[in-house]
Structures are given as structure tokens and as C-alpha cells.
Amino acid sequence: MDKFDKDLKDLFQKQAIINEEQENWLDHKVNNLERKKQPQLFSLFKKHRLASVVITLLFVTVSIFAASNLQLFETSKVPISNDKAIARKFQNKQVQNINQTIENDEVKITINDILVDSKAIYFDAEVTLKSKKDNLIKYPYLNKISILNDDGSKIKTQNSSWRLDPETLNYVNNKSRELYKYTDISNKQTLKDIIKNNKSYKLKIEEVIINRQVKKDSEEYQKYQTLNINKTIDFKLDNKINSIESIKYHSDNKDIKVMYLDNTSLNIEFILNESKKSYDNYEVESTDFIDSLNIVTKDGTIIHTDGFEIKSNYQNNKYQDYIKVSFPITLQQSQDQYKFTYNLKSTNKFEAIITK
Amino acid sequence: MIDLKQIEKAINNDHEAFASIIKIIQNELFSIAYLKLTNKSNVHDAIQETLINAYTNITKVKQTQYFKTWIIKILINECQKINQKDNRYINVDYEEYFINATSDNTYISNIFEILKEIDYKYQIAIYLYYAQEYQINEIAKILNENENTIKTRLKRGKEQLKNILEKKENQNG
């Protein structure tokens, strides 16, 4: 292998890391595989001619019966447990708890959080249908939502069209949780540029769509139903929220998954060193020790200094490959930058700047 | 590196294990689809079909160490099927899929974009050999070609890459 070969290998290794959008798309597809998997019965009976005849007759009988009663084919939807995927979608975003609910006789809508990143503003919303008259699988989601000024007028944007792009976080029958993402279709302007801190706005929700999934003759099809809502909630972004995007990482540091400031704490999620994981009956334990962790303001005032152990835990039938540590700190209005340093036993000294 | 125990679990219909394996090889899947296809939506179609095929047929994997080879082969077949149906050529932007990593070499902005400049049939062989470090006999199996063909593709692909890189280096002084 000559130098050119080696250089080429190095180049490939540094590139082709898929971006967050594709990663989320892939997660979503993988999570949905469980639902797509077809029953294995036919493949089992393929080898046995008599059995396949019986199955065919049974299928025909059931199909005829199904035509008169579609609900026969309803199957209960398995809740998707994807806490990790949710955590990933929330990383690199400012998160502000809203926790406001609007409801009518048919539906209850809760806006949990507003999230902002450099490209878009997101609403983490749960939609729950109140009525359970039948056993049909129903998947409700917000359809027409818009952001208005406090007086109800439309916010002025350079571009009139904003893309509403909901991403499923979690859903069970009659209930969904999604991130509704507002982004400029030209990618030139973000709502963050328009929505100012400490100013009130309204989130207007006009419609909820119910996607009713029905199975007929083994073919899935959807029926849609629209519920009119036309209600608003008030919100404003808190200026104490700080942007994760301003964090500067050490060039080759891979220990930190996410770091962000909220109103009361500096939160850090450490990625545990892969090589330290030991597999024993599906349980994984990994430890590392931070000798010292210092948080200082730009002018040198020490806010926090300590050492601690980080240890992986085992939750929801899977090992956690990161651990979240929160440090209660009081943010100082006069300070716009905090320096964060630590010595991880297994790695070199690390330093990052977090800016308000 | 995929943990073979995870593959065993996936073969036994453990969805979590399957998801964790896909997570590990997601960059490779997108890279291959990006190289093989020229239409953005087709990249997603190919990966989606590959996931479904792999997930529903995973019990057919007899030797866990060949799982990755097996799924790459499925993906390449899916890409070929799509290419046979759809010959439209639309430029796919690298940044649609990947983080645009900076390179130490100022004249190489992106090795994948350069790889797309060489002859189409050499691209995947070069990628599998240099990026995935597959042996020639393994690449031959994945691409359904004989080993000598792969050797020739690697040799010619490498020559073309060298020429392009040298030109870029000269242009940048």
C-alpha cells in the first residue's frame, strides 16, 4: 500500500458522516420496521401444499367476512418507545418549557416545549383524541398552525411561505407526539431571526387531522377526518435560554454529546468511551472519572469546581451510551460567556466556551 | 464495528438490536446509495427497501460476520433495480445527506465529490476498498464480478482519482 492509498483511506474516514436530518429520517424508518413486518405464517406453510390450500381457503373466507366488517382486521398499534430518538432530536436546540393545553369536546392538545435551533423553531406537541367510540386505529396530528403577533396580526417575514414539517416522536392509538418544525423554504431566514426574546406571540392552531388507518384485504389505506380547532396559545422566548450552537468543541473531542444551559443549570451529556464497555448478559457498565470540572465566567470568576464519577446505567432494556450530568449554576446577566474545562481521566484536558 | 452478539439478537428478531446495527452502518449505507444513485428521492427509496428486505429476511443470515456484506449487497441490488427503472440524472448535493467535513488538504474539499467524477463503474469498488477496507475477493462477491475485474477497476479508478487530485493540487499551487 503506497502513500496515496493511505491518504485516500484517511480522507474517506474523515468524511461521509450523515447529517442530522438523514439520521432522523433513518431512525424513523427503522422504528417503523416493526410495524411493516409481515406475518411469517405464509412462509412457514409454503413448504406444505395441503396447509397452503387450507390457508388460502381461510384467507378467502376471512376476506369475504372482512368486506362486511372492516374492523375485523384492526390490530392494536404497538407504542413506539424511542426516548433516545427524542433526546437526539432535542439536542443542539434551545428548549423552553411551555406546557399549555387547549382542548374541545373531541381533542386535547398540549404544547410541551418550544425548541429553537439555528435553522428553525419547533413545537413539541401532543394531540390526544378524547372519544374512543370504536376500535379503529387513529393517529391525530396538527395541520394548520401559524405564529402571530400578540395582537393577532401576522408576523412579517421576508418570505411568505414557511414549511411545516412534523416529525413523529411517539404515537399510540388516539395519541401522537410530534415536533412541528417551522423552517423557511428558502433557508435564508429563520423564525429565530424574527421572534424576539421577551416579546409575546401567539401560536394559532386551526385544524387537527385524524388519520384513521384501516386494513382491508391485507391492504392498508387511510381515511382522513378534519377537526376544526381555531384556538391560540401565548408564548414568549425567555432570554435566559442560551444557544448550544455557540459551544466550541475541542477539535477531536468526542466525549460530549450535548451541552446546554437552561435557566438554572449547565447540563452536559457525556458520551461513554465505547472501548470501556463490557458486555455481560446484555448489561453494560462503563465508568470514567472526571478529575476536575471548572466553570468560570469570562472574567475569571469560578462558578463551579468539582470532580465526579460518571457511570453508565441500564434502562428500558438497553444500555445508555451517555450520561447526563447537571450542575446548578446561577447565570449572571452581566456575563455573556462561560468557559468550561474538565480533565477526563481517559483523555486529555478539554475546554469549551459556552456563550449566552 | 458491529458487535456479533447484536447481530445474533437481530437474527432472533430483536428490533432494538437491528436498530443499533443500522445506526453503526448508517454512514456506509448512505455513502453507497449516494454513489450509486443520481436522484435524491431514489437514495431514500433504496435505503428504505434495503431496511425492509434486511429486516424481513434477516433470519437467512447464517454467518453473523457477513451481515454487513449481506446488507450492502442488498443495497447495491436495490440501487441497480432503481437505476434500471429510472435513468433521469439529477445532481445530488453531498450536503443533502452528509456533514460537509473539512479536509486537511485545501485542494480536496470533499473526497466523495471527487469520487463521483471518476468513471461510474469504478466508484463503488474504490469506496468499498478504501473506505470500508474490504478485500478484493469480498468486493467481487458483493458486486457479483470476478476478482480480476475488481482488480482492474481498482487500478483504473485509482489512476483516474490520482489524475483528478493532481490537477486540483496544481490548480491550487
Interface test with B, best of A7, A10, A15 (most B CBs within 10 A): A15
As given in the structure block, the three cell numbers for residue A301 are 470568576
Q: Establish if B108 touches chain A: CB-CB under 8 angstroms.
A: yes
SS3 call for A185: coil
Interface test with A, best of B2, B16, B18 (most A CBs within 10 A): B16
State the Cα–Cα distance between residues A180 and A145, nearest whole angstrom: 9
* B6 against A60, higher pLDDT: B6
State the Cα–Cα distance between residues B19 and A29, nearest whole angstrom: 10
Contact A316, A252 (CB under 8 A): no
* A51 against B80, higher pLDDT: B80
Task: Give the model's pLDDT for residue A110.
Answer: 92
- Which residues make Cβ contacts (< 8 Å) with residue A195, sequence separation at least 6? A121, A147, A155, A201, A237
Nearest to A19 among B47, B97, B103 (CB): B97
Q: Establish if B151 touches chain A: CB-CB under 8 angstroms.
A: no
Query: CA torsion sign, A105 to A107 to A112 to A116?
Result: negative
Contact A269, A258 (CB under 8 A): yes
DSSP calls for A200-264? -EEEEEEEEEEEEEEEETTEEEEEEEEEEEEEEEEE-B-TT---GGG-B--TT--SEEEEEE-SS
Q: B124, exposed or middle or buried, with CB in 10 Å at 0-12, 13-18, 19+?
A: buried
* B132 against B2, higher pLDDT: B132
Q: What is the pLDDT of residues B135-162, one digit of tens each?
A: 898 898 888 888 888 888 898 898 888 8
Confidence of residue B71 (pLDDT cuts 50, 70, 90): very high
Q: Residue-wise pLDDT tens for chain A (356 aa)?
A: 677 888 788 777 766 677 777 787 788 778 777 655 544 333 343 444 455 555 555 555 444 444 333 333 222 222 333 455 566 666 656 677 888 899 988 899 999 888 876 667 888 888 998 876 666 667 788 887 888 888 888 776 654 455 666 666 666 778 888 888 776 655 555 666 667 777 888 888 888 888 776 554 444 455 677 888 999 988 887 654 443 333 333 323 455 555 565 555 566 665 554 433 333 333 334 444 455 556 666 566 665 555 554 444 444 444 455 555 655 555 554 455 555 555 554 444 445 555 44
In the stretch 86-105 of chain B, residues with CB closer than 8 A to chain A read 95-99, 101, 103-105
As given in the structure block, the three cell numbers for residue A317 are 432494556
Task: Give the model's pLDDT for residue A30.
Answer: 82
Nearest to B98 among A4, A13, A17 (CB): A17
* Phi and psi angles of residue A206, each rounded to the nearest 5 degrees, phi first: -95, -40
User: Residue A176: which of A84, A88, A82, A91 has the closest Cα?
Assistant: A82
Whether pLDDT at B29 is above 80: yes
Q: A52, exposed or middle or buried, with CB in 10 Å at 0-12, 13-18, 19+?
A: middle
- ipTM comes to 0.82
**Which residues of A sit within 8 Å Cβ distance of B?**
4-5, 8-9, 11-19, 22-23, 25-27, 29-31, 33-34, 36-38, 279, 317-318
Instruction: Give B99's contacts in chain A (Cβ within 8 Å).
Output: 17-19
Alpha-carbon distances, residue A120 vs A189, A198, A209, B60, B155 (angstroms): 9, 18, 23, 43, 46
pTM of the shown model: 0.41
> Do the chains contact at A318 and B16, CB–CB below 8 Å?
yes
Instruction: Give A8's contacts in chain B (Cβ within 8 Å).
Output: 111, 130, 158, 161
What ranges make up the beta strands (E) of A236-345? Answer: 256-261, 265-271, 278-280, 283-285, 287-297, 302-311, 314-315, 318-319, 322-328, 337-344
What ranges make up the beta strands (E) of B80-152? Answer: 98-99
Residues in chain A: 356
Nearest to A37 among B55, B98, B158 (CB): B55
